[in-house]
Structure 1
Amino acid sequence: MALSDEEIRKIITPLLLSGAKMLDKHCPKCGSPLFELNGRVFCPVCEHRKKQRKAELKGIEEILMEKLKVLANNLPDDIEKLEKHLRVMEKIIEILERYKKLEGEE
């Protein structure tokens, strides 16, 4: 998803005001100018996207955890229904584990 010029300005302006230096090099991934602050060179646009993605993953993770709690607190007595219930819980746990791996990669 491409960021608008306004969004890019909202990301870059605070960096410039904080003393970050805009370099004459560009990010190979998104083409944004690279910045340097405290000896660290980085792409503010890619970092912004990474933070956004992490927040989205966290939100999804919270929803899944809540669903898992609801299922755990409402286990049926009927064995067939219980088996289905547990399979759903198992799938949710698998998805949560995948999200955890995605968070760790970033």
Structure 2
Amino acid sequence: MNGPTDEEIRNVIMPLMLSGAKMLDRHCPKCGSPLFEKDGRVFCPVCEYREKRRKAETKGVEERLREKLNELANSLPDDIGGLEKHLRVMEKIIEVLERYKKLEGGE
């Protein structure tokens, strides 16, 4: 992973410094950002920010998949060929949702 971007420096690191957090002379082994200490906790603000963004993006994808699944469930076709196709698509969406759940829950 790369070091902090200009956006992350402006939106994550600078506000943290202004809030009274202490920038340490150590760096994150994962992204190279300076580590910070605040309220007795040492952390990498960039990795935390990136993880929070990743979870938000994942949640957005998950919500869209659930909406599509509901849409498909509410519009089942009458003919058997169309119904089978519909159900295969629904099954794939459920598989993807289950993978997301495992990633998020660490199962």
Q: Compute the TM-score of the two structures, normalised by the length of structure 1.
A: 0.89
The equivalent of 2:94 in structure 1 is 93
Per the alignment, residue 17 of structure 1 pairs with 18
CA distance in 1, matches of 2:17, 2:5: 18
User: Equivalents in 1 of 2:61, 2:76: separation in Å?
Assistant: 23
What letter is aligned with 2:14?
A: T
Inter-partner Cα distance in structure 1 for 2:10 and 2:89: 44
Secondary structure of the residue aligned to 1:75 is coil
CA distance in 2, matches of 1:7, 1:23: 17
Say if 1:6 and 1:75 are closer, same or farther in 2 by CA, change over 3 A.
Answer: closer
Q: 2:52 is matched with which residue? A: 51
Structure 2 spans left out of the alignment, 5+ residues:
none
CA-based RMSD = 1.6
TM-superposed deviation, 1:5: 2.5
Cα deviation for residue 104 of structure 1 reads: 2.6
| Structure 1, unpaired ranges of 5+ | none
Cα deviation for residue 6 of structure 1 reads 4.1
List, as ranges, runs of 4+ consecutive aligned residues in structure 1 with deviation greater than 6 Å: none
1:30-57: CA deviation from partner (whole Å, max 9, x where unpaired) = 1100011111111011111101111110
Aligned length: 105
Percentage of pairs with the same residue: 77
1:5 maps to: 6
